[in-house]
């Protein structure tokens, strides 16, 4: 079955760190760019970060630049998001999304996971 399954969310205090994971199955993971997209409670979709098929190109939203790090392990069919210096405004449902393309800068998202909830609160 073609799917993405996120994990690693939870309740964390402001300033602390969290690492999200996304396990991919049912498609050739290393053919495609991958992304993290988040959705704060009751709000719209916000792109967070993207990574090309071979990790050669990476991008971040201004809101997370310098705090979050995206990575992937093609041997393990896995995508990661290391989130440091977390803030209350990072509270959201974090989706892992597959790009239709190998390059993260010019693609749309044709497969989404169910998301993992990150809550930043003291």
Residues lying near another protein in the complex (CB under 8 A) are found at 35, 37, 44-47, 50, 59, 61-62, 95, 100, 104-110, 112-115
Least distance (Å) between residue 15 CB and another protein: 25
Least distance (Å) between residue 22 CB and another protein: 13
Least distance (Å) between residue 46 CB and another protein: 7
Residue (12 or 97) nearer to another protein, CB: 97
Give one DSSP letter per residue of 19-60, joined into a string. EEEEEEESS-GGGS-EEEEEE-TT--EEEEEEE-TTSS-EEE
Q: Which of 122, 65, 71, 120 is nearest to 96 (CA)?
A: 71
d(CA 122, CA 43): 22
Least distance (Å) between residue 72 CB and another protein: 16
Residue positions counted in the chain: 122
Of the chain, the end-to-end C-alpha distance in Å amounts to 39
């Amino acid at each position: 079955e073609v799917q993405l399954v996120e994990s690693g969310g939870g309740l964390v205090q402001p300033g602390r760190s969290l690492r999200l994971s996304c396990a991919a199955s049912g498609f050739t993971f290393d053919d495609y760019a991958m992304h993290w997209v988040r959705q704060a409670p009751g709000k719209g979709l916000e792109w967070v970060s993207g990574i090309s098929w071979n990790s050669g190109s990476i991008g971040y939203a201004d809101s997370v630049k310098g705090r979050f790090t995206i990575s992937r392990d093609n041997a393990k069919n896995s995508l990661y998001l290391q989130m440091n210096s977390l803030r209350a405004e990072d509270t959201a449902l974090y989706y892992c999304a597959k790009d239709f393309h190998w390059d993260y800068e010019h693609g749309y998202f044709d497969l989404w996971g169910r998301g993992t909830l990150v809550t930043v609160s003291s």
